[in-house]
Structure 1
Amino acid sequence: MHNSDVENTDPAGAFQGATSVSGAGPGGRPPAFDGLAAAVLDDRGTVVGWTSTAQDLTGFCADEVHGRPVQELVADLPHDPRRAAQVPATGRVRLRHQCGDAIDVTFRTTRVSGSADFLVLAAPTPHVADHRHGAALLRALSAQSRITIALHDTDLTTVQTNAMPDTPDGRPIQPGARLGDVLCAEDAESIEAVLRQVLETGVPVMHRSQRVSWRHHPARRHALSLSAFRLEDALGRPAGVAALYIDDTERLRARRHLDLAHAVAERVGGSLDVVRTAHDLADVLVPAFGDLAAVDLAEAVFDGDEPAERLGGGDLHLRNAALAPATAVWPPGIQRGNLVPSLCDHPLLRRFQHGETVVYGRDDFITLIGDPQQAEQLLPHDTHAVMVAPLHARGLTLGAIVVWRTGPSEPFTEDEAELMKQIASRGALGIDNARRYTREHRAAMALQRRLLPPATTDTPAAETAGVYLPTGRGAGTSGDWYDAIPLPSLRLALVAGDVIGHGIPASATMGRLRAAIQTLADLEPEPDELLTRLADLVQRLAAEAPSGDHDVMGATCLYAVYDPVTRRCAMASAGHPSPVLVRPDGSAEAVGILPGPPLAVCGMPYETTTIDVEPGSVLVLYTDGLVQQATHDVCDGLQRLTRALATSCHPDRALEETGRTLIDNLVDEAPRDDATLLLARTRAVPVEDTARWRIPADPAAVSDARGWAIRQLTAWGLDDLVLPTELIVSELVTNAIRYGRPPAELRLIRHQVLVCEVTDSNTAQPRLRRARTTDEGGRGLFLVAQLAERWGCRHGQNHKTIWSEQPIARAH
């Protein structure tokens, strides 16, 4: 062979450590040898030594090549005795194979020490290239700081690795070591089980997440991504396992921080309850950020008020609002609702009060408390690190987040302190929103309850009981109301209404409407007329409202008037649900009325519906929050209400108890709207306590009316009221004959008061005036006003009634 006949390459690296052969042999078959082919040449290039691996490579045995020039084994090269002794140091040639094919090999020669002979080492060129590239890849991977490579033999002993455990001396792991010599026993067993499975099955493992700790530092956990595959020799036999470990600790830590920040944004702030928000904040931190967590809030925050600014040590007026996990064994000093103890004036406390997140250990905490024994009562078991972050929003320190790490967990890092600062900022915003809502909600609730009438009333017409349940959602009160208004002649007005909107504006509107209804009720119009006037008022209120609130100004209302004398109830609805009537026999049904438009709509008429009501019946008025729940619509809710009333509304059961039971059974735990319920159990004036007399259209009837009234009062035993009643009857009957139109009627009603009514068919409004000295008349109503406790006039369709009341109790 001659230098010009071979390709000079540098295969030195490829020959080092080669353990297998790749490449195709004759006929495409893999070469049947497992090592380097070796031959010995003398100084003339003659073969004087031949190994079995050379025979495996070429197919020629030692006897066939011994004594022959090596040049004869090179394919495509003419025989030239002058070149036989010229053997280059390295190169690449094509060798003849016994079967007639040629094999591309890379070789290297070296002189045998103390001899003129040469040792030739050869391997198939593809095999050499594979090993050269593999070695380069191995060196590149070994140089990566985040990638650890470990080659293990069949008993999982480490053969080669670039691992550098986090030890004080920083020495690399030596060949011959096992995983248990480096990792904690449990982690070593877990990884060896994976490697053993790869070795036995040949199925590689890719990107398996593994948490490990070094034996000398078990508290510090590392996150690894493990990939492993089996090593095989040329015959496909298992030769070991190669494992690649990628340190995912930082990436996973960043991912956990991102997930935690996302969880805080998603879970914290969804509730407008201060304590619920504190619980959500504590729960999201465990175990993602620490082993234990607590949220302490300023006492003023629980009531919706702003906390006072405090600097330095002493009582911070903080109270625990949430602990996580709630099932943990907490020390005696840390319990739900406990006050945070007084703290010493310490630099850590000052930093916290100025808005910084602080991290400290047990010794610092003992210094803060000032009493070692008390400090032990306030530290969870096995605590080694504490992080405290202020809940700071709008210049106010609302409280603090406290996170403990216990046992073998890692200490807090600077980037975790920065993350906690962001979490505390978002948590403080959620708590401040809840605090401000609490303040507004309390104000709206106080206003709403002060605007509502007493829960129970007792009148001659009925006994009533009202129940009001505010919404459980964040919207606050919704302006629902009820009312029971005593009217003249022993009658009773029942009202239920619902204002559009929420919060204080809705409560204020409700108060104005309730006052307007009470004023209009004193004028005693028919229900449809009262709602018409009320709709006009709502239109004026809408016109006065800010431009953005015009469309949300409105209300629904049901107005009913029950007369215990006639035992009839007249009612009209402005877009409000129909009432339910429960009869004395326990049957219940919704009253069929034709509702008109809501009060915000003008120009549409309202219609009065009149029904007969037996004494002892219960008339039920309500708002839609009672019948419209998340799981059913209004129609289903009305049916549920009707069935519940038939079951629970008994004559011997207090109305207030029945109302509470209905609210508990029909309203969701967190209702979407206010729920209002008014129950009225009707009464009747006995027939013997009323008397009627038809007034003839004759001036002489005045004297007859006086006589009839005197005889009726005497029969009732009201002799003391005879004189004033005689004068009242005289004046009212005189006016009815002189100014009214027939037919006319005089009616007396005896109850707690004596009612005197004169009805005629003239709808003109009577007027009280002061008569001059020379006037012969004009003193009638003035005289009535002086004799009666109160008097008035109400209008019906085609008639009017002038009435007066005198207290019977005052006559005895």
Structure 2
Amino acid sequence: MGAWRVTTGDGEGLPFGPGAVSTAELADDGTITAWGPSARRLLGYDAAQAIGLRANRLLADGVRVEGLVSRWCRDGDTGELALRHHEGHTVRVRARVNEMRDADGELRWMVTALPSAEAVRRDVGRSVLAGLADRTSIGLAVLDTDLRYVWINPALERMGGVPAGARYGRRIDDVLPRPASRNVMGVMKEVMRTGRPVNDFEYHGLTDASPDREVALSFSCFRLEDSANRVAGVGYAVIDVTPRFRARERLKLLDEASARIGSTLDAVRVAGGLVAVAVPRFAASAAVDLLDAVVTPTPSADDAPAPRALRTVADSPPPANGGGPLLLIPLRAGGRNLGQVRFLGRAGQPFEPDDITLAQELAQRVATCVDNASRFERERTAALALRRSLLPKDVPRQTAVDVARRYLPAAQSQVGGAWYDVIPLSGARTALVVGQVAGHGLAAAAGMGRLRTAVQTLARMDLPPGELLAHLDDIVVGLHEESNDTDTDPGGTCLYAVYDPVAQRVSLASAGHPPPAVALPDGTSRFLESRTGPALGLGAGLPFETAEFPLPEGGLLALYSAALPAADGGREGLRRALAAGEGSPDEVCGALTGGLPRVPGKDDAVVLVARARGVPEDRVAVWDVPLEPSAVARVRADVAGRMARWGLRDQSFPTELVASELVTNAIRYGRPPVRLRLIRETSLTCEVFDASDTTPHVRRAAADEEGGRGLFLVAQLTERWGTRYTAEGKTVWSEQPLSTPDDTADTPDAPNGPNAADPPGTPDADAPEAEGRDSDGRDGDGRRTGADGRPFTGVPPSRGDGTRGAA
């Protein structure tokens, strides 16, 4: 039987069990005494053919075994055999020989055989099962139908920290912490009910092996059945995926930190966002310390020496147990130090290498955001300083309106291009301007300054609002073409309004800007809706229309940028706040802005509130002048009388001269009607209207010329003069500073509205005699004379302050 002995030992070389295993019984002399059905399938011999044969007959390859089997085999021997099939071919099997005794005590040998290929597969399966049960890192367990432990492998003992003996007979929810164990039990019950396995179901929580730090376990569950296909329980495999889980959590924490700290340009909010994300998910506590120069940047150069003091701008409460290790990460970006981040670990849990990498990545992202915020704030500070230098410092002195204003920078962006202006105009009028330049930062501040300068220049030309915006639009288009910048919005919006306190009316035009709101003394309020033109710089070629509205004395007019209604509850909220406004315009401004230091959103806001102040009728004098040269003398007499009534005798002569020169030009070169108006406010305004559109010009007359000196004299005698045009004609005006009224005014002024003044030619009681002077103020010898008939030398009289004439 030497051919049978390949290996000897305890018989582990062949996995025995049901299935394709063939059995036969041999007597000690090698005679076959029993033959199983599976042996017939293996070698093709039925029982009748096999029983009684010697085993040598079945051996292939010419092997012959003589003598007793007991001489060659021992109980439990296994080996590889080559057997001859009934049809003649060779069948290789793995066999085992076991010793046994029959009822008479005779020695018998039980031979079991399995085809070699099947034996190899069974060997592999047995090895795999043994490896899974004893040598793998995968935890395995079998539970009965009540989900009580029946069997677990050593890996699961190590993973859960509970020995096998303590698990047997206990339910899974008695081992795993609640409520996470209920989710696992629910999955297992569903697997037993449906038979569908579940793979990679993750459990996150604490275990006895890791009581202080959360772990992640991946469950794969499958149903177990008995030989009758009845549900016998559930088996599951567990893999510790804590490293994968923590890596995923680190990435998730990085994403959340980037989203939270990357959405703001405020260094303090960036630091606070990091602390909120890191605690308690990454550390027991955290703090961010920044340099003073980072927290409060100045618009100085980047290489300027900065204070080195650290300031804690965000932190979390320290842990009750004192915490664990301390991790310090420097903050650096753009080649400069910004501060540091402090992470305090949990007690008994040192930072792992991956934790340190995560902390460095968090610090780098915070440093980048803090650096961006610092640079943004520095540029914002510079832009804010620039725009403050370009906006009006104080409201100019004028009497038409009481004005208050507010500028609210945007809370979520750089300094924008919202601006305002108050411009005194001729005839005691005042221009109120509000605009919005496209963009933010230094470019917007510079654009705002250029736009404001252009508006001031055009306003000095006394253009109607619509015509002024048309010229402003041309300027903006030209500036944009000059810059060759095709990627940005070239202009912005503008609202230009002019209040006339004499007529108590406001005229306005809009270039893409929201309409102003008005509150009248009777308690009503509304928006002055007009046809809004296109925004500046669009080059649409559309006209800007001028609209007029009444605004009686005491009424409130509010101009604002588009961002203000959003901060104050919309247009209706603004209208209601304006209607309820009582007191000074400054108080109304505060009510409209709600006391906000900044306006929410990305665009800054301005609000300009003006309370109308009409000019009393006794401070305005109007005369209709006939188109004849003789009217000039009567005009001078009327002006002298009016100046005496106003207590301005010292300024009577230059005013007479200015009025006579302007009226003379209107009579000679204009068209009727001709009208003279004097307005006494903070300055004395003299206006002459006629229906022509001829533009007067100042020129220097030659020594031998009789004329050409009129406007030159006007320019010398007044502070300023100019011409404004209307649809009906033009008005040439001049302004003189007022001296202190004297106490010799004859009588109180009578009501004197437009076209209700003293009739031309009516001599004033104290007016100098006008006889002997022609319409040009000359005596009979052709010499220019004053109101008192004395020759005029061309030098204006003294004002009493050492100066002569006008500035």
TM-score relative to the length of structure 2: 0.73
Q: Aligned pair in 2 of structure 1 residues 790, 195: CA closer, same or farther (>3 Å)? A: closer
TM superposition shift of 1:142: 5.1
Give 1:564 deviation, angstroms.
Answer: 0.7
- 1:715 alignment partner, one of 636, 640, 645: 645
Matched residues, percent identical? 36
**In structure 1, C-alpha distance between the alignment counterparts of 2:210 and 2:353, rounded to whole Å:** 20
Residue 353 of structure 1: aligned partner: none
Structure 1 segment 214-293 matched on structure 2, within 5 A: 218-219=211-212, 222-227=215-220, 243-293=236-286
Aligned partner letter, 1:417: I
CA distance in 2, matches of 1:643, 1:166: 65
Tell me if 1:654 matches 2:644: no
Question: 1:753 touches 1:809 (CA, 8 Å); kept in 2?
Answer: no
Q: Deviations along 1:656-686, whole A, 9 cap, x unmatched? A: 3333333349999632423222222212112
Larger radius of gyration: 2
User: 1:454: Cα distance to partner?
Assistant: 4.9
Q: Which amino acid aligns with 2:431?
A: A
Compute the displacement of 1:542 (Å). 1.6
8 Å CA contact 1:742–1:760 kept in 2: the answer is: yes
2:430 corresponds to 1:492: yes
The verdict on how the C-alpha distance between 1:179 and 1:775 changes in structure 2, with shifts beyond 3 A counting, is: farther
456, 460, 480: which one aligns with 2:418 = 480
User: In the alignment, what sits opposite 2:335?
Assistant: 395
CA-to-aligned-CA distance 1:219-270 (integer Å, 9 cap, x gap)? 5665332445676765779988755332212222332233333333443312
- SS of residue paired to 1:673: coil
Contact kept? 2:396, 2:424, Cα under 8 Å: no
How far apart are 1:211 and its partner, in Å? 5.4
Residues 176 and 595 of structure 1, relative CA distance in 2, 3 Å threshold: closer
**Secondary structure of the corresponding residue to residue 548 of structure 1:** coil
**CA distance in 1: counterparts of 2:575 and 2:178, whole angstroms:** 69
Please tell me whether the aligned partners of residues 577 and 592 of structure 2 are also in contact (alpha carbons under 8 angstroms). no
Q: Is 2:138 the partner of 1:147?
A: yes
Contact 1:484–1:494 under 8 Å retained in 2: yes
Higher mean alpha-carbon deviation, 481-490 vs 751-760, is at 751-760
Contact 2:134 2:154 in 1 (8 A): no
**CA RMSD between the two structures:** 5.0
Deviations 1:549-571 (A, max 9, x none): 47522232222211111122222
For 1:236 and 1:151, how far apart are their aligned partners in 2? 17
Cα deviation, residue 137, structure 1:
1.8
Partner of 2:504: 567
Query: Is 439-448 or 232-241 further displaced after alignment?
Result: 232-241
Distance in 1 between residues matched to 2:257 and 2:524, nearest whole Å: 53
CA shift digits 1:520-543 (9 cap, x unpaired) = 212212223322322232233123
Provide the secondary structure at the position in 2 that maps to 1:139.
Answer: helix
CA drift at 1:320: 1.9
Map 1:306-321; keep pairs closer than 5 Å: 316-321=308-313
Amino acid at match of 2:444: A
Counterparts of 1:112-511 in structure 2 under 5 Å?
112=100, 117-118=107-108, 120=110, 132=123, 134-141=125-132, 146-149=137-140, 156=149, 160-161=153-154, 165=158, 176=165, 178=167, 187=176, 206-210=199-203, 218-219=211-212, 222-227=215-220, 243-304=236-297, 316-324=308-316, 330-331=317-318, 381-408=321-348, 410-454=349-393, 459-474=398-413, 476-511=414-449
Aligned with 2:657 (options 727, 734, 738): 727
Distance in 2, matches of 1:510 and 1:459, equals 24
Q: 1:704 aligns with which of 610, 617, 634?
A: 634
Deviation at 1:468, TM superposition (A): 2.4
For residues 625-660 of structure 1, the C-alpha deviation after alignment (integer angstroms, 9 at most, x for no partner) is: 33579xxxxxxx9x9424642454246333333333
Q: Secondary structure at the match of 1:552?
A: coil
* Superposed displacement of residue 726, structure 1: 2.9
Residue in 1 that maps onto 2:555: 617
The one-letter amino acid of 1:118's match is R
Asked whether the equivalents of residues 556 and 611 of structure 2 are also in contact (C-alpha less than 8 Å), the reply is yes
Q: Residues of 1 paired with 2:101 and 2:626: CA distance? A: 159
Q: Secondary structure at the match of 2:675?
A: strand
Tell whether the 8 Å contact from 1:622 to 1:676 is kept in structure 2 after alignment: yes
Which of 656, 667, 676 pairs up with 2:606? Answer: 676
CA contact (8 A) 2:582 2:588 kept: no
Kindly state the Cα deviation for residue 514 of structure 1 after the two structures are TM-superposed: 0.7
Equivalence for 2:543 = 605
Give the letter aligned to residue 337 of structure 2: T
Conserved in 2, the CA contact under 8 Å of 1:45 and 1:84?
A: yes
Shift in Å, 1:492 = 0.6
2:60 aligns with: none
- Give 3-state SS (helix, strand or coil) of 2:660's partner: helix
What SS does the aligned partner of 1:741 have?
coil
Q: Secondary structure at the match of 1:463?
A: strand
Supply the distance in 1 between the matched residues of 2:575 and 2:96 (Cα, whole angstroms): 105
Moved more, 123-132 or 782-791: 123-132
Deviation at 1:586, TM superposition (A): 2.5
Q: Are the aligned partners of 2:285 and 2:344 in contact in 1 as well (CA < 8 Å)?
A: yes
Classify the secondary structure of the residue corresponding to 2:421.
Answer: strand
Residues 801 and 144 (structure 1), Cα distance of their counterparts in 2 relative to 1, 3 Å cut: farther
Q: Distance in 2 between matches of 1:188 and 1:278?
A: 36
Which amino acid letter does the alignment assign opposite residue 111 of structure 1? E
Counterpart residue number, 1:687: 617
Contact 2:287 2:342 in 1 (8 A): yes
CA displacement 1:413-436 (0-9 Å, x = unmatched): 223222322332222222211221
Aligned residues: 698
In structure 1, the gaps of 5 or more residues are 24-35, 59-73, 93-104, 325-329, 332-378, 630-636
Q: Is the CA contact 1:697–1:742 (under 8 Å) kept in the aligned structure 2?
A: yes
Q: Following the alignment from structure 2 to structure 1, what is the Cα–Cα distance between the partners of residues 658 and 181?
A: 111
Give, in angstroms, the shift of residue 392 of structure 1: 1.4
Contact 1:536 1:602 in 2 (8 A): no
Q: Distance in 2 between matches of 1:669 and 1:525?
A: 34
- The answer to whether the aligner puts 1:111 opposite 2:111 as a matched pair is no
Q: Which SS does the other structure have where 1:757 is aligned?
A: strand
**Structure 1 residue 151: Cα displacement:** 6.6
> In the superposition, relative to structure 1, how do residues 645 and 705 fare at CA in structure 2: closer, same or farther (>3 Å)?
same
Q: CA deviation at 1:412?
A: 0.9
* Partner SS for 2:411: coil
Tell me which residue corresponds to 1:580. Answer: 517
Measure the CA separation in 2 of the matches of 1:692 and 1:196: 98
Structure 1 residues 219 and 490: alpha-carbon distance in aligned structure 2, compared to 1, 3 A threshold: same
Query: Which segments of 5 or more consecutive residues in structure 2 lack a partner in the other structure?
Result: 38-44, 58-68, 82-92, 744-807
